Structure 1
Amino acid sequence: MNESIARPVWEAVAAELRAHRHNGLGPLLTEDTVRFASARALADAGVAPAALHAEWPHPALKGSRIDLVVDDHPPVVIEFKFPREPHEKNAAWTMALGEALKDFYRLAAFPGVAKRLFVYVETARLRRYMTGAARRYGMAIEGERISLRPADTAKLPTTAAQIIGTELAAHHVQAWRDVLIEVDDELRLAVYEVDPLGAPPDPASASLAADDASDDPMPALVQPHEMSAGSREGVRQEILMAIRALLTRSGGASFTPAQVLSEMKDRGTRYADTTIRTMVTGHMCRNAPDNAARTYDDLERVDRGLYRLIP
């Protein structure tokens, strides 16, 4: 079945995206559109629909899911990324960078024998940013060969580094571009095959997040009583990013701890549920009870089980 996953499949995906954009539907295209187009192209190429599975739990990264899995021997695991074009004002370029890079790490961390594919759809404007980022941070993230080394990842902006996470960033990850298709003048599709993790973590990368780092590439979840000041700061930054993403999508001003927890699980957090809840309702909340050991003034409780972000 793996032989069916070749260039004609991705040409069919590019053709479908091209047709949508030609018909004026470009602004409505999303990452899910790319995944569905890929599933349809795979089925047309001879892959049994029953062998296609979306949102497959990642066997090594707790709370993380693979976008699409082709049930074969060996399996094919596919991650898709189609970053929405950031607005010129307050553009979240570094977040787009971190999210795209993280998929390489997540695929490399998939254990066992498998074909690991990263399907990346990119606008011309985002490509210009990524090319500039490659020069600024000394990373080979453009061209046929992708090389992500711990020493270079440590130079990334804080937002991008936190999205990737300390444990994943401690590895050297390599990938090779198999396919590059110009969808039109403003959009292109690239497919990379990612090598599995083959080397132990680099202890020098611990400087990324103080004592959040670990020599174990798949560490146990941090429990509240184990958290040092560095660990608290690490989970705090993850929580703040999750809250901002929630509020951006909803357009609202308040949220619940359960929503934050769900968002962080979707992002593949390594922190325990109790750690996240303790941080939201205690350490980060300025009007938390006196016995909550408040540390930051990030949040405010506005009602029972309801919080807001303090500007």
Structure 2
Amino acid sequence: MARTATQLARDTPELWSPVWAEVAVALSAHWRAGRGHLLTEDALRLSAVVALGDAGVDPSRVTADVPEPVLRQGVADLVVDGLSGVVVQLRYSAARTDSRPAAVPMGELLGDVMRLGCVPARRRWVVQVISARTMSHLASAADRHSLVWPSEVGRRLVVERGALEWLPAAAQRAVGRAPWQLPVVATCTDVLAVHGELALFALEVETPGAPPPGGEAELGEVGPRRRDEPPESPRGTARADILDAVRRILAASDQDTFGVEEVVADLSARGSRFAAATVRTMLTSHMCADVRGRGIAAFDDVERVGPGTYRLRAGR
């Protein structure tokens, strides 16, 4: 039985997977026919419209380039049932490798995710066709900045203020400066082969976290951190995992100090997804009150008391 656009707007991500799969098949057919070098985001959008039609969505319910100032170029690439229904942002890169520094496409994708997080739609999708090799490079670069990159099905990208503030300058410029509602979470639901190394990555952007009791959801801009109390990091981020490890270490000892390598060993033993170098950098730079400078998140969670030795600050 054909599904209506309203049903699609309320469906689970799994019910959207056939739509993205049909898009990938259509793009692949163009490549096999020798038209791959002619494909752009317009071809990606038209393929999505056709796939939605095959799913039972009447074309009258689908619109393109819908004005929405917060989005890239001020428009939503594809909308089903208006901006309160389903909003899809599209990116297409046919290059097998990206000649730009990894920080630039990283910032672009983060910007798409963050902008969609500000749109009051029932469902939000970022659909990107990019080289799988480039996506792998992005995942490696993101890991160095304590981000879990959505390069595989089921991976969740958590965008919080701290994560943005220690990004490279090139990534920050690509993200842009605007008020964001944070944190924003995006989950990779589909990775579909298109041609050669090209693959389609579908990310669903979740509704931003609910405001804390008696307060508003965090709004902020990428840029220097104010020297006030930092917000709590979402569970599963590098900072949150490190703080948990520090508290375990201190609870098991008679001292109020701990070593960097103790934290690395604790997280490694628990199967942390963060590399040892990421943990060290996060702890000794971004979480240390004694470190200042450009690109430092300045959470001020710990203070240095000696070589490789730190103390958890009061209130942490």
TM-score for the superposition, normalised by structure 1 = 0.59
- Which of 54, 74, 78 is equivalent to 2:64? 54
Q: Deviations over 1:167-218 (max 9, x none)?
A: 446721101222222224412112221112334226696516x8xxxxxxxx
Give the conservation status (yes or no) of the 8 Å contact 2:179–2:220.
no
Give the conservation status (yes or no) of the 8 Å contact 1:105–1:169.
yes
- Which of 180, 200, 207 is equivalent to 2:224? 207
- Which of 31, 35, 43 is equivalent to 2:45? 35
Q: How many Å apart are 1:71 and its aligned residue? A: 1.2
Match of 1:146 in 2: 157
- Tell me the SS of whatever aligns to 1:68: strand
Match of 1:189 in 2: 200
**Counterpart code for 2:111:** K
Structure-1 separation of matches of 2:17 and 2:71: 29
Q: Deviations over 1:8-65 (max 9, x none)?
A: 2111111111111112222222122111110111112111111111111116569621
Matches within 5 A, 1:153-192: 153-168=164-179, 171-192=182-203
The 3 A distance-change label for structure 1 pair 21 and 205 is: closer
The 3 A distance-change label for structure 1 pair 183 and 60 is: closer
The 3 A distance-change label for structure 1 pair 179 and 3 is: farther
Once structures 1 and 2 are overlaid, which stretch shifts more, 47-56 or 21-30?
21-30
Match of 2:283 in 1: none
Match of 1:18 in 2: 28
Structure-2 separation of matches of 1:73 and 1:201: 23
Matches within 5 A, 1:196-275: 196-198=207-209, 199=211, 200-201=217-218, 206-207=223-224
The 3 A distance-change label for structure 1 pair 86 and 171 is: farther
TM-score for the superposition, normalised by structure 2 = 0.58
Q: How many Å apart are 1:161 and its aligned residue? A: 0.8
Q: How many residue pairs align between the two structures?
A: 208
CA RMSD of superposed structures (Å): 2.9
- Tell me the SS of whatever aligns to 1:207: coil
- Tell me the SS of whatever aligns to 2:79: strand
- Which of 120, 125, 131 is equivalent to 2:139? 131
Q: How many Å apart are 1:135 and its aligned residue? A: 1.5
- Which of 66, 71, 76 is equivalent to 2:86? 76
Give the conservation status (yes or no) of the 8 Å contact 2:176–2:222.
no
1:66 aligns with 2:94: no
**Counterpart code for 2:141:** A
Unaligned runs of 5+ in 2: 9-14, 212-216, 227-316
Give the conservation status (yes or no) of the 8 Å contact 1:170–1:205.
no
Give the conservation status (yes or no) of the 8 Å contact 2:161–2:220.
no
Give the conservation status (yes or no) of the 8 Å contact 2:41–2:90.
yes
The 3 A distance-change label for structure 1 pair 73 and 128 is: closer
Percent identical = 30
Q: How many Å apart are 1:91 and its aligned residue? A: 2.6
**Counterpart code for 2:134:** L
Larger radius of gyration: 2
- Tell me the SS of whatever aligns to 1:67: strand
Matches within 5 A, 1:298-309: none
Match of 2:112 in 1: 103
**Which stretches of structure 1, 4 residues or longer, exceed 6 Å deviation after superposition?**
none
**Counterpart code for 1:139:** L
Unaligned runs of 5+ in 1: 211-311
Q: Deviations over 1:48-94 (max 9, x none)?
A: 11111111111656962111100169511111112353877x63543
**Counterpart code for 1:114:** R
- Tell me the SS of whatever aligns to 2:204: strand
- Tell me the SS of whatever aligns to 1:188: strand
Structure-2 separation of matches of 1:121 and 1:146: 18
Structure-1 separation of matches of 2:28 and 2:130: 13
Structure-2 separation of matches of 1:58 and 1:175: 20
